Amino acid sequence: MSQSQWIWVTGASTGIGEALARRLLQNGHNVVISARSADKLESLARAFPERCHALPVDLTDREALSQVSDRLKTITHHLDSVVINAGTCEYIDVKHFDAAPFAPVMNINVVGSANTVELALPFLRKSPNRAQVVGVGSMVTVLPLTRSEAYGASKAAMEYFMHSLRVDLAPEGIDVTLVRPGFVKTPLTDRNDFEMPFLVEAETAAEHIARGMARRQRIVQFPWQLVWTMRLISWLPLGWKTALLKKMVKD
């Protein structure tokens, strides 16, 4: 991505999305930033008034999709990349199992992602460059981690969605990049009450993602220490793996 491009980043009000949008803006790109809260987008938009454009949207609201598309058309006639980053996390307490968190987590992380693709594709198809879809998943898909039944399932669905899109969009010359971050310090992970090994700052995550986008990597995953630790554990027989991972379960 050497020349200036038009990039849409969702979930850009905080965390990875905000850090990535800022990095892309610093690299000279035109960036459309989206989140549900308009107020949280304003400070970034003010910092780059010529190239940063706020587009507040609830991506789970299908009735609003056509209005969002119309608003996006007033900003740009095409997109070179879309970064599907908006998401949420809810943990499950299996001792008092409650299925209620599954619906909102799936709705935001999976349905919201599909709605984003529906909105972005007509703009990506007009790109004068080779367009790109970037989906932010999670390293949680590598191993079945404790309390992650809802979040992990949503990210597994997101990952399959990205891989399928890669196959179907290849004939059109649209690249698909899947991002698997490890633990990243964000307002979302600040709520976690457990140890997060190899935790990285949001700015570091943005660096990895921006570099992976520029290189058109099919999969971007980081930090390498966590990637290799989880990969090695994933190669163990299922019984050994379960015995090891259950040590993470709190009494």
Residue 193 CB partners (closer than 8 Å, separation 6+)? none
Longest dimension (CA), the chain: 56
By three-state DSSP, how is residue 180 classified?
strand
Which pLDDT does position 155 carry in this prediction? 97
Is residue 87 assigned to a domain? yes
Is residue 165 assigned to a domain? yes
Which pLDDT does position 83 carry in this prediction? 98
Is residue 81 assigned to a domain? yes
Q: Which of 8, 151, 161, 183 is catalytic?
A: 151
Is residue 85 assigned to a domain? yes
Is residue 199 assigned to a domain? yes
Is residue 242 assigned to a domain? yes
Is residue 1 assigned to a domain? no
The CATH number of the domain holding residue 200 is 3.40.50.720
State the Cα–Cα distance between residues 182 and 223, nearest whole angstrom.
6
Q: Does residue 160 have an active-site annotation?
A: no
For the entire predicted model, the pTM comes to 0.94
Contact (CB, 8 A) for 178 and 137: yes
Is residue 134 assigned to a domain? yes
Number of H helices and E strands in the chain, helices first, is 9, 9
**Which pLDDT tens digit goes with each residue over 151-195?**
999 999 999 999 999 999 999 999 999 999 998 887 777 676 667
Residues of the chain with pLDDT under 70: 1-2, 190, 192-194, 251
Domain limits for position 18: 6-248
State the Cα–Cα distance between residues 251 and 4, nearest whole angstrom.
52
Q: How many domains does the chain have?
A: 1
- Compute the C-alpha angle 53/184/117, nearest 5°: 45
